[in-house]
């Protein structure tokens, strides 16, 4: 799924008059909240461009993002991309051919924030610049970036503007690129100033890569959650084709999620639990997609966040028309069918079985499906090729890229099996014209099957070892701004490499990483979210709430709270420990993380036991797996049913939850159990508060005094779950 955000062109719009804000646009330098960015000095002097040739996304760019072990078949030497990696790289390369505005906005923001020398406005479009723009453009296809963007798309226009006001007033705050969408595409711009009046109307000043050196803005009305943007016209206040939108059509992407290395997006489906993803690329959005649940999406109305569309990304360069290939990403499950009404459409799907890229023309259709949905069995691609057109299919297995050009007026089926690839072509008269099955090679290879079934093998293209090595050295240098914006540049970690190498590395869980424990705040009682060493050998930790700590061999342990304020330095030995500190009554992540209570008694809530700690905290654990915890300050945290681990040795069978007498539970459950042995505690009636006072005290462990249990009663040889050992 990391490849999931599929790039769309920037163009089109709807006819709506300008908002009132257009009549009162202030200069950026006088705006109420301004980052100090200059379009002339800090923006690129060249216009957003359609990348071609070596300027497109390449294998070396993929290595710089994901590492050579994820991209290359060989462990050393020249690099041959894996079949799935090759398909993903080809998809991104095609999208850069439509423009790289996303890469331009991210790079210009990053260079401004670190004070890069020379300034961006003095740089020419060199091959090195093209490489960086292509790589940062490609980050919008990756899981971390997509998820961060989706989170802001769910916010209102008012909330987005408020966040921009906060961030632009403080360069040390998280900074963002801004995405806006119409029904025909998306666009990436860089916000650098915001000015609103008392009614919540105003403008977001932006750097727009399509207008180098020109001040541009987006009009907003936070009271009605509307926005308006002149994409085409030099006269922004009078543009009949201006883009307009509301909640869900504007989003932010944090700069801090852009740093490599990233998890590779082409190993398996990469789609979590939400199904697979289809990347639909077209010159014109004249296509219709029907998913397995009969949900229909049309290219003309596809918008991110609607009808299963995961995202539409930003890229195109043309101001006169929607140029290049427009890409839309959408979900599918067991089956998906795409019809092409006009033009040419390419579709990429990556699954645990393998990847497939299909290119179709007007009137043709393709269906993707699995032979077995449960275990992601054979991937089948069915083509209905129209008269006077052609269709090309490329199937990528673990070792092969198989290409087949399906003839016109045919029904072609290609199946990617576990050990082979099968092709069958049936003409319009129902006659089989081609039928061939190619056994899987154990070597990385490319092959083409022609209409007669003849197979031709080709050696895959390789990237030279020297270029591979250079790309590896560039991992982690995607952006220059430190990934910890709350810490001074001199203190920020310089590496977070995933590999266990000499020098900078993260700590794996099985290495028993030490915990940096801040002197204040509850976050010190939990494992850090991240731990790593920087290039100077200092150890860092970051907690979920944003607090951070650092320890060096020759210096004190230092901590910063979630707001970036440094806490008082503390002694090295006292605050750097090998095990978690004692429980301090902060909110536990799970009720199962609590230490045993110092005292327990029957709760007034039937089916529950109450626990008390000497600190003054208390809690409750119930038979349905729910519970609560009240800390020393009187704040209560509730846990849903099933949150509590019920140990097998706790004294009651799993069907205890089905016993009568527990509110909301029905059934008997008694007959499921054999007679209890002599000396075990037995319960012949449903549990209730009145039963417990007469029961032997589990703490005294006098179980043998209980009478024998009759057949059919529930019994236990161990203390029940509400008793402390």
Per-residue confidence at 607, pLDDT binned at 50, 70, 90?
confident
Tell me the CA distances in angstroms from 16 to 199, 239, 240, 307, 403, one per residue in order.
21, 9, 6, 25, 47
CA-angle at 62, arms to 478 and 152, nearest 5°: 60
The confidence score (pLDDT) of residue 19 equals 54
Phi and psi torsions of 700, nearest 5°: -90, -10
Same domain, yes or no: 54 and 84: yes
Token code pair at residue 648:
């097998």
What φ, ψ does residue 528 adopt, rounded to 5°? -60, 155
The Cα diameter of the chain in Å comes to 93
Burial 100-135 (b: 16+ CB within 10 A, else e): bbbbbbbbbbbbbbeebeebbbebeeeeebbbbbbb
Q: What is the CATH number of the domain that holds 494?
A: 3.30.1120
Question: Are 219 and 96 part of one and the same domain?
Answer: yes
Residues 166 and 202 in one domain: yes
Res 600 pLDDT > 90:
no
DSSP state of 565: P
Average pLDDT over residues 29-35: 84
**pLDDT of 315:** 61
Query: Do 622 and 657 reside in the same domain of the chain?
Result: no
Q: What is the pLDDT of residue 586?
A: 52
Query: What does the pLDDT read at residue 460?
Result: 95
pLDDT given for residue 537 in this prediction: 66
Q: Is the pLDDT of residue 724 over 50?
A: no
| pLDDT digit string, tens, across residues 323-377 | 445 788 787 777 889 999 999 999 999 888 889 999 999 999 999 988 754 555 7
> So what's the pLDDT on residue 645?
67
Which letter does DSSP use for residue 706 in this model?
Answer: S
Do 212 and 320 share a structural domain?
Answer: no
What is the C-alpha separation between 407 and 389, in angstroms, rounded? 8
Task: Please say if the pLDDT value at position 6 is more than 70.
Answer: no
Helices (H), 122-267: 127-138, 143-153, 157-168
- Beta strand residue intervals within 319-370, DSSP E: 326-332, 335-340, 344-350, 355-361, 365-370
Query: 45: which 2 tokens?
Result: 């002097």
Q: Based on the domain organization, do 624 and 670 belong to the same domain?
A: no
Is the confidence at residue 427, as pLDDT, over 70?
Answer: yes
Residue 271 has a pLDDT of 33
Output the pLDDT for position 554. 62
Return phi, psi of residue 338, to 5°. -115, 130
The answer to whether 79 and 1 are in contact (CB under 8 A) is: no
Confidence of residue 41 (pLDDT cuts 50, 70, 90): very high
The per-residue pLDDT for 568 is 64
Q: Does one domain contain both 426 and 495?
A: no
**Segment of 231-245, 294-308, 552-566, 622-636 carrying the highest mean pLDDT:** 231-245
State the pLDDT at residue 526: 56
Provide the residue range defining the domain that includes 526: 486-577
Q: Are residues 388 and 305 in the same domain?
A: yes
More confident residue, 352 or 112: 112
Share of the chain above pLDDT 70, in %: 70
Angstrom CA distances, 602 to 409, 622, 693, 714, stand at 77, 11, 9, 20
Residue 299 lies in a domain: yes
Please give the mean pLDDT across all residues of the chain. Answer: 75
The stretch 647-655 carries a mean pLDDT of: 35
- Tens digits of per-residue pLDDT, 42-71? 999 999 998 888 899 999 999 999 999 999
Tokens found for residue 108: 């210009």
Say if 291 falls within a structural domain.
yes
Q: Is residue 709 part of a domain?
A: yes
Q: Are residues 420 and 554 in the same domain?
A: no
Q: Are residues 429 and 527 in the same domain?
A: no
Q: Is residue 419 part of a domain?
A: yes
Size (the chain), residues:
725
Does residue 605 contact residue 692 with C-beta atoms inside 8 Å? no
Mapping DSSP onto H, E and C, the string for 504-548 reads CEECCHHHCCCEECCCCCHHHHCCCCEEEECCCCCEEEECCCCCE
Q: Is residue 470 part of a domain?
A: no
- Looking at the structure, do residues 630 and 545 belong to the same domain, yes or no? no
Q: Work out how many domains the chain is built from and give that number.
A: 5
pLDDT of res. 550: 77
Q: Which of 33-47, 170-184, 224-238, 551-565 has the weakest average pLDDT?
A: 551-565
Residue 330 has what pLDDT? 81
Q: What is the pLDDT of residues 8-23, one digit of tens each?
A: 334 333 334 445 545 5
Mean of pLDDT values over 378-401: 93
Cα–Cα distance, 714 to 185 (Å, whole number)? 65
- pLDDT interval class at 179 (50, 70, 90): very high
pLDDT at position 247, please?
92
- 401 vs 614: which has the higher pLDDT: 401
pLDDT tens figures, 683-710:
444 444 344 444 444 333 333 334 444 4
The pLDDT of residue 587 is above 70: no
Q: Long-range contacts for 246-250 (Cβ within 8 Å, ≥24 apart)? A: 246/157, 247/155, 247/156, 247/157, 248/153, 248/154, 248/303, 248/304, 248/305, 248/306, 249/180, 249/181, 249/182, 249/303, 250/153, 250/157, 250/160, 250/178, 250/179, 250/180, 250/181
pLDDT of 111 strictly over 80: yes
Which of 17, 28, 65, 53 has its CA nearest to residue 208?
28
Is 70 exceeded by the pLDDT of residue 518? no
Model-wide pTM > 0.75: no
Read off the pLDDT of each residue in 468-496 and give the average, rounded to a whole number: 62
Q: Is residue 479, in this structure, part of any structural domain at all?
A: no
Q: Any idea which of 99-103, 225-229, 302-306 has the lowest mean pLDDT?
A: 302-306
Q: How far apart are CA 195 and CA 108, in angstroms?
A: 22
Q: What are residue 705's phi and psi, to 5 degrees?
A: -80, -15
Q: What pLDDT shows up at residue 712?
A: 40
| The pair of three-digit structure tokens given for residue 156, joined into one six-digit string | 């209102």
Q: Which two tokens stand for residue 378?
A: 């054979």
Tokens (6 digits) for 254:
């944090």
Is 480 domain-assigned?
no
**For residues 312-331, average pLDDT:** 62
Amino acid 684: pLDDT? 45
- Residues 305, 238 within the same domain: no
Question: Distance between CA 521 and CA 562 in Å, rounded?
Answer: 10
Whether 474 is in a domain gets the answer no
pLDDT at 432 over 80: yes
């Amino acid at each position: 799924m990391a490849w999931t955000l599929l790039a769309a062109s920037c163009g089109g719009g709807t006819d709506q008059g300008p908002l009132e804000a257009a009549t009162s646009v202030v200069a950026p330098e006088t705006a109420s909240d301004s980052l100090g960015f200059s379009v002339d000095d800090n923006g690129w002097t060249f216009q957003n461009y359609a990348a071609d040739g070596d300027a497109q996304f390449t294998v070396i760019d993929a290595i710089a993002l994901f590492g050579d072990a994820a991209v290359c078949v060989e462990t050393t030497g020249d690099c041959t991309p894996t079949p799935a990696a090759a398909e993903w790289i080809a998809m991104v390369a095609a999208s850069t051919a439509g423009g790289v505005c996303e890469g331009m906005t991210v790079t210009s923001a990053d260079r401004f924030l670190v004070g890069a020398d020379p300034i961006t406005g003095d740089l020419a479009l060199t091959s090195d610049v093209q490489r960086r723009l292509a790589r940062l453009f490609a980050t919008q296809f990756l899981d971390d970036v997509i998820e961060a963007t989706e989170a802001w798309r769910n916010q209102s226009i008012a909330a987005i503007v408020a966040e921009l006001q906060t961030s632009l007033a403080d360069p040390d705050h998280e900074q963002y690129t801004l995405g806006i969408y119409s029904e025909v595409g998306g666009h990436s711009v860089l916000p650098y100033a915001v000015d609103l009046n008392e009614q919540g109307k105003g403008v977001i000043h932006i750097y727009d890569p399509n207008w180098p050196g020109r001040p541009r803005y987006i009009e907003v009305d936070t009271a009605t959650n509307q926005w308006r943007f002149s994409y085409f016209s030099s006269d922004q206040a009078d543009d009949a084709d201006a883009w307009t939108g509301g909640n869900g059509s504007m989003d932010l992407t944090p700069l801090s999620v852009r740093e490599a290395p990233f998890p590779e997006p082409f190993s398996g489906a990469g789609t979590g639990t939400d199904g697979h993803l289809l990347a639909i690329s077209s010159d014109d959005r004249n296509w219709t997609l029907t998913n397995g649940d009969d949900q229909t999406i049309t290219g003309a109305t596809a918008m991110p966040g609607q009808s299963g569309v995961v995202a539409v990304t930003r890229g195109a360069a043309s101001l006169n028309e929607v140029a290049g290939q427009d890409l839309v990403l959408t979900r599918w499950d067991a089956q998906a069918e795409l019809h092409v009404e006009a033009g040419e459409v390419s579709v990429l799907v990556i699954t645990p079985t393998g990847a497939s890229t299909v290119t179709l023309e007007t009137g043709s259709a393709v269906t993707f499906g699995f032979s077995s949905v449960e275990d992601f069995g054979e991937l089948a691609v069915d083509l209905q090729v129209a008269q006077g057109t052609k269709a090309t299919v490329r199937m990528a297995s673990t070792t092969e890229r198989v290409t087949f050009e399906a003839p016109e007026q045919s029904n072609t089926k290609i199946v990617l099996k576990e050990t082979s690839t099968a092709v069958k072509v049936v003409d319009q008269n129902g006659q089989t014209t081609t039928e061939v099955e190619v056994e899987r090679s154990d070597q990385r290879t490319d092959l083409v099957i022609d209409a007669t079934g003849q197979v031709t093998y080709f050696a895959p293209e390789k990237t030279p070892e020297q270029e591979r090595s250079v790309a590896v050295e560039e991992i982690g240098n995607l952006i220059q701004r430190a990934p910890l914006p709350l810490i001074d540049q001199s203190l920020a970690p310089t590496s977070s490499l995933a590999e266990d190498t000499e020098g900078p590395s993260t700590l794996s869980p099985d290495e028993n990483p030490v915990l940096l424990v801040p002197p204040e705040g509850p976050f010190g009682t939990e494992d850090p979210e991240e731990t790593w060493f920087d290039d100077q050998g200092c150890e860092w930790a970051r907690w979920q709430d944003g607090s951070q700590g650092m320890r060096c061999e020759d210096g004190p342990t230092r901590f910063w709270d979630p707001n970036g304020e440094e806490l008082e330095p503390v002694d090295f030995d006292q605050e750097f420990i090998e095990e978690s500190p004692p429980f301090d009554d902060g909110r536990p992540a799970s009720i199962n993380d609590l230490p045993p209570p110092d005292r327990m008694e029957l709760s007034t809530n039937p089916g529950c036991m109450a626990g008390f700690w000497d600190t003054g905290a208390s809690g409750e654990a119930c038979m349905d797996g729910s519970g609560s915890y009240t800390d020393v300050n009187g704040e209560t945290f509730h846990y849903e049913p099933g949150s509590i681990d019920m140990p097998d040795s706790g004294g009651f069978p799993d069907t205890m939850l089905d016993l009568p007498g527990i509110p909301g539970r029905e059934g008997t459950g008694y007959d499921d159990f054999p007679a209890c042995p002599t000396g075990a505690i037995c319960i012949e009636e449903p549990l209730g508060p009145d039963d417990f006072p007469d029961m032997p005290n589990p703490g005294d462990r006098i179980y043998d005094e209980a009478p024998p249990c009759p057949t059919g009663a529930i019994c236990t040889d161990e203390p029940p779950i509400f008793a402390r050992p």
